[in-house]
Each structure stands twice: as C-alpha cells, then as structure tokens.
C-alpha cells in the first residue's frame, strides 16, 4: 500500500511538471511569434494628423471672420478654438522638428 502511494505521488508530480513545461513552451512560442502589423501605416497617421491640424486652422480662420463681421458674439468659443489650433500647430511643428533631426542623424551615419 505504501509503495502504491509513493508511486502515485511521483506520477502526479511528473504530470504537474509536464503541464508546467507545456505552459512554458507556449509562453516561449508566443513570445517568439512575429508581432502583428500595425493597424494603420505611420504615413497614414501623419497625413490624418496634418489634415486635422489644417481643418482646425480653417475653423479658426472662419470663426475669426464671423466674430469680426458680427455674426458670432461668443468670445469664449473663439478663444478656445484659437488655443486648440495654436497648440495643434505647435505640436505639429515640434514633431516635424524631431523627425528632421532624426533624419539628419541617420544621414550622418556611416555604413
């Protein structure tokens, strides 16, 4: 009876180790898989962002003209749109500067 229980315990441990090994193999194979392609290409993201900034600038210009002509008297909305458009333009300019700096550094590399 005692030998059977020792054998059963050893068998149970072997099964547990086999399960753990299988789990580890799955984790390793998942880690080694090729990463998924991005949903949208970077160029499309940049184009969309520039178009949005351009749209915000157009909205700002339109609101300034409406305010100057007296069609719209809401100063708060005008100021909010002006700040949003200004901030978007500043961020776009900062990203452009970073991209240009990175490009220049890559061009300076020797292969």
Instruction: Give the pTM.
Output: 0.58
Q: What is the pLDDT of residue 105?
A: 94
* Other beta carbons less than 10 A from residue 109's beta carbon: 6
Residues 40-99: pLDDT tens digits?
Answer: 888 898 899 999 999 999 999 999 999 999 898 889 999 999 999 999 999 999 999 999
Q: Report the largest interatomic distance among the alpha carbons of the chain, rounded to a whole angstrom.
A: 100
Alpha-helix runs per DSSP H in the chain: 2-32, 42-69, 75-108
CA distances from 102 to 19, 87, 106, 108 (A): 48, 23, 6, 10
Q: Residue 100 pLDDT more than 70?
A: yes
């Amino acid at each position: 009876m005692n030998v059977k229980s020792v054998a059963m315990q050893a068998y149970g441990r072997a099964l547990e180790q086999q399960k753990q090994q299988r789990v580890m193999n799955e984790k390793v194979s998942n880690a080694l898989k090729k990463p998924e392609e991005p949903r949208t290409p970077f160029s499309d993201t940049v184009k969309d962002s520039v178009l949005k900034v351009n749209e915000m600038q157009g909205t700002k210009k339109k609101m300034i003209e409406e305010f100057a002509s007296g069609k719209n008297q809401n100063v708060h909305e005008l100021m909010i749109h002006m700040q949003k458009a200004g901030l978007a333009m500043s961020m776009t300019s900062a990203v452009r500067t970073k991209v240009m700096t990175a490009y220049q550094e890559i061009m300076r590399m020797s292969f």
